[in-house]
Chains A and B, each alone.
Chain A
Amino acid sequence: MTLELAVRIAEGILAFAIMQQSVEFIRGQHPEKYLAWLRLMLASFLLVGFMPVWMETGLLLIALILIKRFQGPYNGGSDTMTLLVLLCLWLSHIASMLFTHTKLWQEIALGYLAIQLILSYFQAGWVKVINPEWRSGKALENVFAFTAYPVSQSVRQWATNPALMFYMSWAVILFELIFPLTIFSTVALYIALFIAAVFHLANACLFGLNRFFWIWPAAYPILIWFQSRVF
């Protein structure tokens, strides 16, 4: 995949994810409600590829206002990934405008995003595998039994099945730890990204983390480009 194509696909998915987030805010409170309308408009233009660098500049400014408003990200990791994708894509455009004779700086900006995507899985797996409670399945049992994440009582009941918790824990840990190795093979990477998307879908269904499901795939085209560029 070429750099330009990866950026365009990533921008399309990012724009859709921001539109999804904005529509949720529109039903909310002020001032984020009014900023959401502006965000929705800018993301719509970004979706169709209209002046992407200016749309991304506007979206970055709004993101800064929202971070100040909420004194940090509103939706934890999903907001972090949204801003990271947005910033790296914006930097890649700025680099292409400033350094017309080389793609190096563009590649550095996008490479940073690819590495953060890999880390987002690997580090999450690492902190789990070094924790005995995760290795025994007890931590996941506590997630289902006590945290605010399960979306219904029937999902909370999953905690009463220790064997299920054990196998689910290890499936997640192994997948997250193995993920970086998949960049050595194109086929393995495509399979890993498909499994990752299914993993985010499961998180959305079980824990209501719908924003993660839309924003993480925005970085996938950049990782696919990165894999073909490096290997």
Chain B
Amino acid sequence: MFKFLLPILFPSWRFFSSIGPSPRFDFGFIKYTDEQPEVWQEFSVLPDKIELTKGIVRLLHNPEWNERLYINTCAENLFDQYSEFREQEIARRILWILNRHNQLPEDYPYFCYRIRVITNEDNLVKDEVIFSAKPFLVKRGVQ
């Protein structure tokens, strides 16, 4: 607990000090735990633009976006050090958002995801899969 509290009591305000690898999430559904998804879908595809009224509403209330930022933070922590908690958090959060958008297929009991990172070094853009999560049983309606 103390290790979580110290950086809050004595914060370091190094916002965007360097631009590290940027995570992207792909997800898929499978019938058996030893399978790979037939199709990987990208999670969190950006809209083309945000209307002014929607932007004003999001200023006051934007739970889904903040969930996405939290998922991102979990992934960045995973890059530093593997943690089962973070791996599960990402799965739970993505499933919750997919469930809210009715995007959970009925006939596939397992969900899995992978994390790609995009890096830009000397204008050479790389897009690599660096983490594949274990399959998670989908519990519909309780995410």
Question: Within 8 Å CB of A147, what residues of B?
Answer: 19, 22
Docked complex Cα distance between A211 and B61 (Å): 9
Given contacts A77-B13, A152-B47, A153-B47, contact A146 B22 (CB under 8 A): yes
Evaluate contact between A154 and B17: CB separation under 8 angstroms.
Answer: no
Question: Within 8 Å CB of A131, what residues of B?
Answer: 17-18
Evaluate contact between A67 and B46: CB separation under 8 angstroms.
Answer: no
Question: Within 8 Å CB of B24, what residues of A?
Answer: 148
Evaluate contact between B15 and A77: CB separation under 8 angstroms.
Answer: yes
Evaluate contact between A204 and B59: CB separation under 8 angstroms.
Answer: yes
> Which size class do A's interface residues fall under?
35 or more
Docked complex Cα distance between A155 and B49 (Å): 7
Evaluate contact between A208 and B19: CB separation under 8 angstroms.
Answer: no
Q: How far is the CB of B121 from chain A (nearest CB, A)?
A: 10
A74 within 8 A of partner (CB): yes
At the interface with chain B, which of A42-50, A116-124, A188-196? A116-124
Evaluate contact between A67 and B49: CB separation under 8 angstroms.
Answer: no
Docked complex Cα distance between A99 and B120 (Å): 56
Evaluate contact between B96 and A29: CB separation under 8 angstroms.
Answer: yes
Q: How far is the CB of B123 from chain A (nearest CB, A)?
A: 9
A51 within 8 A of partner (CB): no
A151 within 8 A of partner (CB): yes
Given contacts A71-B85, A143-B16, A148-B68, contact A80 B7 (CB under 8 A): yes
Docked complex Cα distance between A209 and B68 (Å): 11
Docked complex Cα distance between A87 and B14 (Å): 21
A160 within 8 A of partner (CB): no
Docked complex Cα distance between A83 and B8 (Å): 7
Q: A67-B4, A81-B11, A210-B60 are in contact. List 12 more A-B contacts (CB 8 A).
A: A28-B96, A29-B92, A64-B5, A71-B85, A72-B4, A87-B9, A116-B11, A133-B18, A146-B19, A146-B119, A154-B49, A210-B59
Residues on B lying within 8 angstroms of A by beta carbon are 1, 4-5, 7-9, 11-19, 22-24, 44, 46-50, 55, 58-63, 65-70, 72-73, 77, 83, 85-86, 92-93, 96, 118-120, 125, 143
